Amino acid sequence: MHAWRALFTEVLAARGIALPYTDEDYFLYLDGKKRYDGVGAMLASRGIELPWGSADDPSSADTVCGLGNRKNDVFSRIIDEEGIAPYPGSLALLDRLTAEGKPMAIVSSSKNAEKVLVGAGVRERFPVVVDGELATREHLAGKPAGDMFVYAADALGVAPADAVVFEDALSGVAAGRAGGFGLVIGVDRGVGEAALRKAGADVVIEDLAVFLGGAR
């Protein structure tokens, strides 16, 4: 959220757009989506039309891909300078599920998922990581399509109907529902309970610590 805010605050100001970037824009247009798709959706929300460009566009390019690459530069700088820490409730639940031998996978549209997991010190907990890089290689449709989640379940050797999806993005909740998963849990990090339920969440919680008796 920090990186997207930094990028689009600058982009909208440079174009004299009166409607400023807000956290609501993040939840509506960016959260859970592939980077360039998110950029395109955000620009469209302000009536800005740019050529799509290509993934190897420099960060200075005035294209959708160029802006996406610029965001990635900001993101990398933030990770390097500020670091990243997992939510304590999420880490505690990972401890319990690991102890119980539950197979777990990460499904993320981001091509930075590996960097985030390593930076947070949790990469080794997940034998399967289905991220933006893998989705591109395997030609998997991104969220809200269910393809990435189904791929992860197959890699873990479990049927979607026997698996649980935890998601804080509307597009991710919709993807879990589209993939036919047995339970889709929405984690409300600011998007709102009603929106998560409308997207397809069976249950909405505020933090994964709820499963440990630590939160509502």
Match 């799509």 to its residue by tokens.
52
**Two structure tokens written together for 188:** 């409300």
CATH for 2-82 is: 1.10.150
Question: Could you name the CATH architecture of 88-212?
Answer: 3-Layer(aba) Sandwich (3.40)
Spans of all domains in the chain: 2-82, 88-212
Per-residue pLDDT of the chain (216 residues; tens, 9 = 90+): 888 999 999 999 999 999 999 999 999 999 888 899 999 999 999 999 999 999 999 999 999 999 999 998 988 888 888 878 889 999 999 999 999 999 999 999 988 899 889 888 899 999 999 999 999 999 999 999 999 999 999 999 999 999 999 999 999 999 999 999 999 999 999 899 999 999 999 999 999 999 887 544
Distance, in Å, from the CA atom of 162 to the CA atom of 164, rounded to the nearest integer, reads: 7
What would the pLDDT profile of 102-137 be if each residue is shown by its tens digit?
999 999 998 889 988 988 889 999 999 999 999 999
Cα separation of the two ends of the chain: 24
